[in-house]
Amino acid sequence: MRGLFVTGTDTGAGKSVLSACLLAAMAAAGEPVRAHKPVVTGLAEAPEGPWPADHELLGASCGMAPEEVAPLRFGAPASPHLAAALEGARIEPAELIANARAAGAGPVTLIVEGVGGLLVPLADDYSVADLAGELGLALVIAARPGLGTLNHTLLTLEAARTRGLAVAGVVLGRWPEQPGPLERSNLQTLRRLGEAEILTLPLLPGPEPAAMAAAGAALPWKRWLERQGETGHL
Ligand SMILES: Nc1ncnc2c1ncn2[C@@H]1O[C@H](COP(=O)(O)OP(=O)(O)OP(=O)(O)O)[C@@H](O)[C@H]1O
Ligand SMILES: [Mg+2]
């Protein structure tokens, strides 16, 4: 399967915005791109601010219906296994794998947005990291630019490496036009300690397609895709 698996250091770290920017840039470049969100939760709550729900944002960025992007949808703003249990449902790993493989079948490039962070359970004994490993896609890690990101990002990189997952890069989102000393230092420190490519994605005012495509085009997604299957830095 050709594609990338976008994970994050945490929930709200910027996976959806990053995924949408990658999708928009790829679509603009003529890449036959599709999006997949294995499970979306929290649909009972209306989104705050200009950004729509994950599957709507991803779908709009590559011309897919939201339901096609996320086949498993739950109302509770909770981890997938709990959100499913609250509706009397149970998520099976085999179903997650089959859905993702179907989404990435054929001559397409698949952008998968994970759920929460790497170790979040999708099913009882099956984590986001397990699914990423099963699909054989390199990780792009969405991280915050400010306070707290050093520990979260380094922990995520360590967890990925421990599990043998390839890391394409880390992207610090919401990157201000004029980064302050904290953001600049975080970028330098992660470049020094992370042993991974550390990039930034600008702070965007909202889901404006041209701005998202421009932000995504600044990321080295072509190289990441060309070097798929290699381990270490892509
Ligand atoms: N590059 C960005 N520019 C502007 N706002 C951003 C950016 N990245 C993230 N945000 C803000 O942070 C919020 C959370 O980002 P996002 O939804 O991408 O996180 P997530 O990791 O996908 O969260 P979830 O775990 O819910 O899937 C967005 O709704 C938006 O308000
Ligand atoms: Mg999201």
Residues 117, 132: Cα–Cα separation, whole Å? 12
Full residue range of the structural domain in which residue 68 is found: 2-231
Phi, psi of 137 (to 5 degrees): -95, 145
Could you tell me the two tokens for 79? 């981890």
Could you tell me the two tokens for 141? 């890690």
Helix or strand or coil: residue 143?
strand
Could you tell me the pLDDT band of residue 231, with boundaries at 50, 70 and 90? Answer: low
Is the CB of residue 155 below 6 angstroms from any atom belonging to ligand 1? Answer: no
Number of domains composing the chain: 1
CA 107 centroid distance within chain = 21
Phi, psi of 87 (to 5 degrees): -105, 15
Is the CB of residue 56 below 6 angstroms from any atom belonging to ligand 1? Answer: no
State the pLDDT at residue 229: 74
Atom of ligand 1 nearest to the CA of 51: 29
Is the CB of residue 79 below 6 angstroms from any atom belonging to ligand 1? Answer: no
Residues 195-210 have a mean pLDDT of: 97
Could you tell me the pLDDT band of residue 226, with boundaries at 50, 70 and 90? Answer: very high
Evaluate whether 233 touches 215 at the Cβ level (below 8 Å). Answer: no
Residues 131-153 have a mean pLDDT of: 98
Could you tell me the pLDDT band of residue 9, with boundaries at 50, 70 and 90? Answer: very high
CA 66 centroid distance within chain = 16
Residues that are catalytic: 37
State the pLDDT at residue 7: 98
Q: What is the pLDDT of residues 163-181, one digit of tens each?
A: 999 999 999 999 999 999 9
pLDDT over 70, % of the chain? 98
∠ at Cα 144 (140, 148), nearest 5°? Answer: 120
Is the CB of residue 66 below 6 angstroms from any atom belonging to ligand 1? Answer: no
Could you tell me the pLDDT band of residue 228, with boundaries at 50, 70 and 90? Answer: confident
Helix or strand or coil: residue 140?
strand
Could you tell me the two tokens for 56? 């709507």
Task: Give the Å distances, CA to CA, from 221 to 22, 50, 201, 204.
Answer: 8, 26, 13, 19
Q: Does 232 score more than 70 pLDDT?
A: no
User: Which distant-in-sequence residues (6+ apart) come within 8 Å of 16 by Cβ?
Assistant: 51, 54, 57, 58, 113
| DSSP-derived pairing of the beta strands 121-123 and 109-113 | unpaired
6, 16, 74, 118: which to mutate for ligand 1, most atoms within 8 A of CB? Answer: 16
Could you tell me the two tokens for 225? 């895709």
127-157 burial by CB neighbour count: b if 16+ within 10 A, else e? Answer: bbbbbbbebebbbbbbbbbeeebeebbbebb
* Among 53, 142, 128, CA closest to 93: 128
| CA–centroid distance, residue 54 to ligand 2 (Å) | 5
- The overall average pLDDT reported for the chain is 96
Q: What is the pLDDT of residues 68-115, one digit of tens each?
A: 999 999 999 999 999 999 999 999 999 999 999 999 999 999 999 999
Q: Does 205 score more than 60 pLDDT?
A: yes
The pTM (predicted TM-score) of the whole model is: 0.97
CATH of the domain at 48: 3.40.50.300
| CA–centroid distance, residue 16 to ligand 2 (Å) | 4
Q: What is the pLDDT of residues 37-59, one digit of tens each?
A: 999 999 999 999 999 999 999 99
Q: What is the pLDDT of residues 154-163, one digit of tens each?
A: 999 999 999 9
pLDDT over 90, % of the chain? 96
- Taking ligand 2, which is a single-atom ion, which protein residues have CB atoms under 5 Å away? 15-16, 54
